[in-house]
Amino acid sequence: MSILRDAKRLFAVVIAGSCGLIILLDFGGAGGVIAAIAGLLISWAAMITAIALLLGIFSVAWSHVQRVRLRSPDWGYSLVLLVGLIAVIMTGIFFPLSGPNGIVLPSSLAEGPIRAFFRIVYEPLAGSLLALLAFFSLSAALRAVRRRSLEAITILVIACLVLIAQLPIVAGLPGIGVGMQWLNDYVALAGARGLLIGSAIGALVASVRVLLGFDIPYLDR
């Protein structure tokens, strides 16, 4: 069905496209009324996002409470999630900050008490999980060797050479440090920039398709 024959879809596309165009014009430096409308739209979006996030937290918490109450399979993981959720909230409420106007609550996850909680609890857990990646990488390398795929073996050999070149004994040899720096500055950086440029072009094309109404992810199908 053509979008011009569906009033609801046409209205949604016009609203979404107009809002996106206003934000783009404001980002490009347009002032006056455009800037005021763009600021209002951004404020509305932030408020809607906050409400949606709050509702999502309640929904997730309630579903895990039900899993714990009914002793569903793996309900212990749900209990851990609820304990972590409550611990972060309690940290922000009962460990406020001392400001010039008295005691104030932390306004974001970047503030003192919550940041300390993440540093004490979350960072060791994240470091442990990252350490486990070494074993997964080794397992993947062994499977690649067993399959005898030329591409996989090439990647494995290059990875081993890079790891060996970063050893303190090897890195101190003449030419090794300079060579690794050249690879990082030209080969690795060129690949990273290529990925970023490709991602940016893909995001640009997807955004234009949404603004023009070719893709309508904000409507229920």
pLDDT in tens, 189-202: 898 999 999 999 99
Domain boundaries, the chain: 150-221
CB 216 within 8 A of CB 2: no
- Name the β-bridge partners of 104: 97
Averaged pLDDT, 60-67: 91
Higher-confidence residue of 154 and 215: namely: 154
pLDDT at 196: 93
CA torsion angle for 2, 5, 7, 11 (degrees, to 10)? 40
Higher-confidence residue of 111 and 65: namely: 65
pLDDT above 90 as % of the chain: 10
pLDDT at 110: 52
pLDDT at 220: 59
- Rounded CA-CA distance 163/141 in Å is 14
Averaged pLDDT, 204-209: 85
For the chain, give the mean pLDDT: 80
Give CA angle at 54 (72, 71), nearest 5°: 10
- C-alpha distances out from residue 218 to 13, 56, 210, Å: 9, 18, 9
For 37-53, what is each residue's pLDDT tens digit? 888 888 998 899 889 98
pLDDT at 73: 85
